[in-house]
Amino acid sequence: MVRNSREFFRKRKRQRIPSLSPIPSYRLKLIFAILCAALLGLIGRMAWLQLFEGSYLETRARNFQTKRIEPLGARRSIVDRKGRLVALDEKRFRLYAHPKQFKFSGDSSGVIRKPVEVARRLSVPLSIPTYKIVDILGGQDSGVKLAENLPSAVASEVRRLRINGLDLEPYLQRVYPQGDLFANVVGFLDYDRNPQAGLELSLNKRLSRREKVRKLRYGRDGTPLPNDVEPGVFYEDDLNLELTLDARLQEVAINALRKQTKEWKADKAVAIVMNAENGEIVTLASTPTYNPNRYWDYSPALYKEWSVQELFEPGSTFKPINLALALQEGVIQPEDSVYDPGSVNVGGWSLGNWDKKPNGLIDFAKVLQVSSNVGMVKIMQKLSPSRHWEWLEKLGVNEKPKTDLLGAVSGQLKSRELFINQPIEQAVASYGQGFSITPLKLAQLHALIANGGKVVKPHITKGFNLNKALRSQGNLKNSNRLFSPEVTHQVLRWMESVVENYGENSVKTENYRIGGKTGTADQSKNGIYSSKICSFVAILPIQSPRFVVVVAIDGPKKPYAYGSTVAMPVAKKIIESLIVLEKIPPATKNNVLLSSKS
Amino acid sequence: MRSQDINNFNSSRVLEKTSNSLFVKNIDEQPFFQRLLPLPWEIWPSEARLLLALLGFWSISGLFILGSASWWVANKEMGDGIYFVKRQLIWLLASWSFVWVTISISLRKWLKVSKICLIICLFLIASTLIYGSTINGSSRWLIIGPIRLQPSELVKPFVILQAANLFGQWKRVKADQKVFWLGLFGVLILLILKQPNLSTAALIGMLLWLMAVASGIRFRSLLSTAFLGITLGASSILINDYQKLRVISFLNPWEDPEGNGYQLIQSLLAIGSGGLFGEGYGLSTQKLLYLPFLSTDFIFAVFAEEFGFAGSLMLIIFFILIAFLGLRICLRCRNNYSKLIASGCSTLLVGQAIMHLAVASGSMPTTGLPLPLISYGGNSLLSSLIISGLLIRCSLESTGLIGGLSIKKKLS
């Protein structure tokens, strides 16, 4: 073995020496030089990429990795007192097509699909016939709006088709699921999401969620990265605006109002149900109104709630208020009575009852029951005109009510000089004419009677829920007492007697103590009394008054239109529902006993 | 100093050491790892020692770089952040044992077996075209049990050996032998091209040409061969649509940033984001699935993003150091074969790294090529370490104490 290899080695050596020259070392160095040149070239390349182009490339990389999420401008939902949705945002999509980039997933680059092919796939999820999609696409290259108002389900179906050249743009749409029920108070957002009326307008800032532009780096699989996140980017609240309104009562009211306005060919009508204790408006229904989901179909004149913006002469419904202030002033005593001869002459004007009939000597309950204008004039004449005027001012007749309802206006009251110098002014004011207030103000004034003389702030928003601090606190704490409880108690009993004396088909409800007063006022337009406004005010339950119901129907065009015939049936329906919805206990003797025991 | 002188100087220096330490000591007194070494550690040439140390450093830091590049994907897809690192570690240990095997076998034996090994590999490559499993559009792998073999990687050391066999005695080899072996190399390259694996084919082609340059063949014939090769390559690119697209997208990647240019653009963005000092180890953003093949073909982009220009510069200087060590070993080698083997080994290691960096930085058309000892892939690791082992063996044999028959006799 050893010898063999030695022989082999010798043989090889002998052969190699003549034929092979050693490799010249410059060739090996040349290879090294080539490698080094390439490596130096790479150093240059890296320096160029990382030092000179570095910041530019980094910017591009960050642009590629960072997604900027613009806030869609979400608004808070609005819910009624029971949490039913009144207004909410829904995510919708607009579908844009760019035919120049049409491509199906898996197509090799350079392939551009025909609009027909894309349309065929799209027609099922969009439920638009293929030929129509092709028509819309036309021969355009890009930026064709194919569809709008697509719900999320359709959008994800379109996305699942994985067609290149389609662009789904999300946007939010304000939806009002209750239709026209709350239009008068909530208002609406127009196409560009600008608030146009109601709470949407008055609480615009607080309704819009303060969202920030979200700039975040993501992995390609969509994993968000914690790098350079600004503070507060992820903050979100889920607050809703809670209303004091009750959708079911609102619906009862609006249906009753619609029926009545149609029957009496009236112009418009409003019903207000207010919590007398804290001013929460449970119902504020008015007709005619509009559907905020299709606001463009309606006249812009309907967008404002007339019951807080238009004035009317309250008429007889103001009589209990006048009685209360006369009692408070002590110019009359509860047991007193007044003589009603059927007409009275004041400063040369002859003023009469509505039926022109005398009522004789009547007590104050009877004054309200028969709605004696003459009696009221005589009662109020016991009070000096200046004192009377001061009272009307103190009651805030010519003052804007503190409320969150948009556009509430102040009433109109004659000037102090006129009121004092012209006896007729005080005389007509005694039965609620010669000055004008909004239906909302009337409700607020009757709440004074109901709650023992305290001024409440009528409002329709409870605040933003989940945040107790924002809730409006009881309004009664700071309010001053205008009437003493004894006075209002007396007036309430008189108002109850009014209802007790009604016949069938009135608001009289078995086992419930309800006070009320009708009103029928002639309305002057340009100085001519041309149309009527019929109203009815109710307070219930008398034993512990909680709610004031005001119904006013403007401009009935049929004969025999009075507060009792036009407005009271609406109030009746509302009261019936109110008793059920608010679980008002009946005033049976048992109940009285039980409550006195407890 | 002529090379002959260096050789004489080398062996005299080594023998001097040897007489002091080796022959005095009884072989049983040495630690076991010394007994396993083909040459006692004390008399290893400094190049071999340094190379071994550098290879160790390279392997370990490669594991860390791979760990950073792959953990996100591993976590997402395998549910285990160190999934790839674990597998790479197993391959690394196996490959290092192959390093030991490699340096224990004399170059003479290596040169003898290279012919048959090359032909076996050739058949394996041919069989990938038939039985190969196709991944990412090319069939490079043969699946044998749990192991995926990539014959086009494993053939690399044998190409070096056989090229050394051929070019080392170029003047003496008969014309028919030359034609046969050159033809075989040509077939090899064509088969790899057919897989298709453009990058490996190009790498092997360039390696053969550079080894031919090193062997001292006349420049005229070298240049004409180069011209032929370039013509062939160009026509291949023009015929092959997939290669043409690659080249076009390489020239202007921004033209189709979501399609053909995507890979390169993502790589450039990653490298550019690195800036001077990089984002820091583990903090690359582009590796979050933006970069394709980020633990293999584009691992350098992740490295460059995390370590910046400073890191890239260090890496390139490291490669220059390897190339320089290769040159030193070449110059010390005692015969033409080992010189060519050493030159081929260092050229392949550094050349593959150069091509990887060039692809990632957009200096070359986008073709997948692993970064030696860093990219994920057992076959590449194995082949790179065997090649490194050959380089070390060249250095060891340059002492003249092993490999040559006379020395072996002297030692026994």
- Based on the structure, what is the number of domains in chain A? 2
Residues A277 and A395 both lie in one domain: yes
Residue type, B282: G
For residue A470, the model assigns a pLDDT of 44
For residue A173, the model assigns a pLDDT of 87
Nearest CA in chain B to A47: B309
What is the DSSP secondary-structure string of A3-17? HHHHHHHHHHHHHHH
pLDDT tier, B356 (very low <50, low <70, confident <90, very high otherwise): very high
Q: Is residue A108 part of a domain?
A: no
CA–CA min distance A248, chain B (Å): 53
Residues A170 and A257 both lie in one domain: no
- C-alpha count within 13 angstroms, C-beta hemisphere, residue B223: 3
Residues A279 and A174 both lie in one domain: no
Average pLDDT over residues B132-143: 73
For residue B85, the model assigns a pLDDT of 93
For residue A595, the model assigns a pLDDT of 46
CA–CA min distance A151, chain B (Å): 29
CB contact under 8 A, B309 and A58: no
For residue A18, the model assigns a pLDDT of 42
Q: Is residue A26 part of a domain?
A: no
Q: Which of A448-457, B173-182, B239-248 has the lowest mean pLDDT?
A: B239-248
Q: Which of A467, A460, A506, A494 is nearest to A198 (CA)?
A: A460
Interfacial A residues in 82-111 facing B (CB < 8 Å): 109
Residues A84 and A126 both lie in one domain: yes
Share of chain B above pLDDT 90, in %: 42
Average pLDDT over residues A110-134: 85
CA–CA min distance A254, chain B (Å): 59
**Strand, coil or helix: B159:** helix
What is the DSSP secondary-structure string of B334-398? SSHHHHHHHHHHHHHHHHHHHHHHHHHTTSS-----PPTTTSS-HHHHHHHHHHHHHHHHHHHHT
Q: Tell me, what's the ipTM? A: 0.90
Residues A230 and A265 both lie in one domain: no
CB contact under 8 A, A42 and B331: no
For residue B309, the model assigns a pLDDT of 94
Rounded CA gap, B148 and B132, in Å? Answer: 10
Average pLDDT over residues A67-77: 81
How high is the mean pLDDT of chain A?
83
CATH number assigned to the domain comprising residue A345: 3.40.710.10
Q: Which of A122-131, A169-178, B37-46, B402-411 has the lowest mean pLDDT?
A: B402-411
For residue B57, the model assigns a pLDDT of 96
Residues A252 and A235 both lie in one domain: no
Residues A361 and A412 both lie in one domain: yes
Residues A269 and A220 both lie in one domain: no
Q: What is the pLDDT of residues A223-235, one digit of tens each?
A: 788 777 777 777 7
For residue B405, the model assigns a pLDDT of 56
The sign of the dihedral angle between the CA atoms of A215, A220, A222, A226 is negative
For residue A1, the model assigns a pLDDT of 44
Helix axes A319-329, A385-394, angle to 10 degrees: 110
CA–CA min distance B165, chain A (Å): 13
How high is the mean pLDDT of chain B?
85
Nearest CA in chain A to B337: A23
For residue A278, the model assigns a pLDDT of 86
CB contact under 8 A, A42 and B290: no
pLDDT tier, B193 (very low <50, low <70, confident <90, very high otherwise): confident
What is the DSSP secondary-structure string of A286-355? EES---GGGGGGS-GGGGS-HHHH--B--GGGGHHHHHHHHHHHTSS-TT-EEEE-SEEEETTEEEE-TT
Domain ranges across chain B: 50-400
Residue A10 has pLDDT above 80, yes or no: no
Q: Is residue A114 part of a domain?
A: no
Residue A213 has pLDDT above 90, yes or no: no
Q: Is residue A451 part of a domain?
A: yes
Residues A86 and A233 both lie in one domain: yes
Residue B126 has pLDDT above 60, yes or no: yes
The sign of the dihedral angle between the CA atoms of B59, B64, B70, B71 is positive
For residue B225, the model assigns a pLDDT of 87
B398 touches chain A (CB under 8 A): no
CB contact under 8 A, A55 and B275: yes
Share of chain B above pLDDT 70, in %: 88
pLDDT tier, A7 (very low <50, low <70, confident <90, very high otherwise): low
CB contact under 8 A, A56 and B270: no
For residue B312, the model assigns a pLDDT of 95
What is the residue whose two structure tokens read 């619609």? A258
What is the arrangement of strands in the sheet containing A281-287, beginning at the earlier edge strand? Answer: A281-287, A268-275, A547-554, A528-540, A515-525
Q: Which of A30-34, A549-553, B132-136 has the lowest mean pLDDT?
A: B132-136
pLDDT tier, A478 (very low <50, low <70, confident <90, very high otherwise): low
Q: Please, what is the Cα angle at A203 between A197 and A207, to 5 degrees?
A: 110
Residues of B with CB below 8 A from A22's CB?
3-4, 335-336, 339
For residue A471, the model assigns a pLDDT of 47
B52 touches chain A (CB under 8 A): no
For residue A590, the model assigns a pLDDT of 55
For residue A132, the model assigns a pLDDT of 86
CATH number assigned to the domain comprising residue A149: 3.90.1310.10
Q: Is residue A59 part of a domain?
A: no
Rounded CA gap, B141 and B125, in Å? Answer: 9
Q: What is the pLDDT of residues B255-281, one digit of tens each?
A: 777 777 888 889 999 999 998 998 899
For residue A65, the model assigns a pLDDT of 84
Q: Is residue A566 part of a domain?
A: yes
pLDDT tier, B5 (very low <50, low <70, confident <90, very high otherwise): low
Share of chain A above pLDDT 90, in %: 16
CB contact under 8 A, B273 and A57: yes
Q: Would residue A316 show up in a list of annotated catalytic residues for this protein?
A: yes
For residue B183, the model assigns a pLDDT of 92
For residue A211, the model assigns a pLDDT of 74
CA–CA min distance B19, chain A (Å): 24
Rounded CA gap, A229 and A232, in Å? Answer: 9
Mutate: best of B256, B268, B269, partner A, most A CBs <10 A: B269
Average pLDDT over residues A319-345: 89
Catalytic residue among A307, A316, A372, A564: A316
For residue A596, the model assigns a pLDDT of 42
Contact present, A269 and A570 (Cβ < 8 Å): yes
Interfacial B residues in 84-143 facing A (CB < 8 Å): none
What is the residue whose two structure tokens read 């606001």? A295
Residues A187 and A313 both lie in one domain: no
Q: Is residue A522 part of a domain?
A: yes
Helix axes A319-329, A423-430, angle to 10 degrees: 110
For residue A589, the model assigns a pLDDT of 61
Residue ranges making up the domain that contains A131: 69-100+119-243
Residues of B with CB below 8 A from A25's CB?
3, 330-331
**Pairs across A and B, CB distance < 8 A:** 166
For residue A598, the model assigns a pLDDT of 38
Q: Which of A153-162, A197-206, B131-140, B230-239 has the lowest mean pLDDT?
A: B131-140
CB contact under 8 A, A28 and B327: yes
CB contact under 8 A, A50 and B304: yes
pLDDT tier, A549 (very low <50, low <70, confident <90, very high otherwise): very high
Contact present, B261 and B364 (Cβ < 8 Å): no
For residue B316, the model assigns a pLDDT of 96
Give φ, ψ of A115 to 5 degrees. -55, -35
For residue A593, the model assigns a pLDDT of 45
Residue type, A585: P
pTM above 0.80, yes or no: no
- Which of left, alpha, beta for B144 (phi over 0: left; psi -120 to 50: alpha)? beta
Cβ burial, residue A326 (10 Å; 0-12/13-18/19+): buried
Q: Which of A285-299, A467-481, A526-540, B200-214 has the lowest mean pLDDT?
A: A467-481
CB contact under 8 A, B320 and A39: yes
Q: What is the pLDDT of residues A145-155, one digit of tens each?
A: 888 888 888 98
